[in-house]
């Protein structure tokens, strides 16, 4: 193996992009890419050792990917007992509103988590300063990542938007880690606390410290400064642990948005945006055969869109009759 080829392999294993390797070695990108694909390819399969031991740290394409989480106040009302109570509308004393939010852009450093809350303003129930920030973030996002956000966070935010006269933000795609967990795995629990405890190594969802359970919300509504600080830590770690969890689960998501759609580059690129893909067998449908690829960063298996069967082969294929 020539010196530059050995250097290219070592740099690729260190995580450097193939484009940067080509620039560093003074070679064309196509020359370096052809060599590395040939090196990593082993009989149309990829050995376990060639798939990165750590997930992709950030998308390499153009999409803006927002991770966010909100905390809301409870609805406060009058009840007659502790079990099987139904609260009618005329028994509501105060409505819910957003207490706090935390958010970050996928791939940004930990110190760039954005956070704000309602401290000093809970008595007003006026959360518009939070809504202003959330609207701008969601309007900028191409994709959002949440845990149970399709049923809770996004619907709650949208409800507060429309109740306060906001127009819809621009459309975005939504990745919900809870839905990935339910569709692809049989975990003991799909809660963020359980999944981050078992799957994440750097960030795990926090347990409540001084204010356990509902007490934290009660003390925030009483404008307790210590409770607000605990909420900040709790909300921020939810976002950091969710990011790490997403990177663990993303390759398993067969409905994952294609980050490559946001890039104009014509070369083979994984849906996560990485250029480090190698041929890995073929994918078949009822009348088609497609080249299949394995990403050396996130580990996902994808295929291209070119049918490799000839017209004569396609004509010869017979399909089942479905009644």
DSSP letters spanning 79-96 = -S-SSS----GGGEEE--
The pLDDT of 115-144, averaged and rounded, is 96
Long-range CB pairs of 278-285 (<8 Å, 24+ gap) are 278/37, 278/40, 278/41, 278/46, 278/50, 279/37, 279/41, 279/44, 280/41, 280/44, 280/45, 280/46, 281/44, 281/45, 282/308
Distance CA(203)–CA(233), nearest Å, equals 12
Q: Tokens standing for 200?
A: 């994440």
* CA-based R_g, the chain, Å: 24
CATH superfamily, region 65-78+87-251 = Ribonuclease H-like superfamily/Ribonuclease H (3.30.420.10)
- For the ranges 13-17, 131-135, 204-208, 289-293, the lowest mean pLDDT is seen at 13-17
pLDDT band at 43 (very low <50, low <70, confident <90, very high): very low
Whether 269 contacts 275, CB under 8 Å: yes
The sign of the CA dihedral 166, 169, 171, 174 is negative
pLDDT band at 113 (very low <50, low <70, confident <90, very high): very high
pTM surpassing 0.85? Answer: no
Q: Tens of pLDDT along 75-104?
A: 999 999 999 989 999 999 999 999 999 999
Distance CA(27)–CA(37), nearest Å, equals 15
């Amino acid at each position: 193996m020539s010196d530059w080829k050995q250097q290219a392999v070592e740099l690729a294993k260190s995580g450097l992009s193939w484009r940067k390797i080509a620039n560093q070695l003074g070679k064309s990108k196509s020359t370096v890419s052809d060599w590395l694909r040939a090196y990593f390819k082993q009989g149309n399969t990829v050995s376990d050792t060639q798939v990165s031991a750590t997930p992709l740290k950030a998308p390499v394409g153009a999409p803006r990917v927002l991770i966010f989480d909100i905390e809301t106040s409870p609805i406060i009302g009058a009840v007659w007992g502790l079990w099987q109570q139904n609260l009618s509308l005329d028994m509501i004393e105060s409505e819910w509103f957003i207490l706090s939010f935390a958010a970050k852009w996928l791939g940004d450093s930990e110190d760039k988590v954005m956070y704000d809350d309602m401290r000093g303003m809970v008595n007003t129930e006026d959360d518009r300063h939070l809504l202003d920030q959330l609207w701008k973030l969601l309007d900028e996002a191409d994709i959002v990542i949440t845990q149970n956000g399709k049923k809770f966070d996004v619907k709650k935010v949208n409800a507060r938007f429309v109740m306060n006269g906001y127009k819809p933000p621009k459309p975005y795609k939504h990745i919900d880690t809870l839905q990935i967990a339910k569709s692809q795995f049989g975990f003991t629990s799909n809660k963020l606390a359980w999944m981050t405890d078992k799957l994440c190594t750097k960030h795990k969802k926090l347990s409540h410290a001084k204010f356990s359970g509902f007490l934290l919300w009660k003390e925030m509504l009483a404008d307790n400064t210590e409770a607000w600080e605990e909420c900040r830590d709790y909300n921020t770690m939810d976002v950091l642990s969710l990011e790490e969890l997403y990177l663990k689960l993303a390759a398993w998501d067969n409905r994952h948005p294609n980050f490559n759609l946001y890039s104009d580059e014509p070369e083979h690129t994984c849906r996560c945006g990485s250029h480090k893909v190698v041929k890995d067998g073929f994918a078949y449908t009822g009348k088609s055969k497609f080249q299949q690829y394995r990403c050396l960063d996130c580990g996902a298996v994808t295929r291209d869109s070119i049918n490799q069967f000839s017209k004569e082969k396609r004509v010869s294929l017979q399909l089942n009759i479905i009644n």
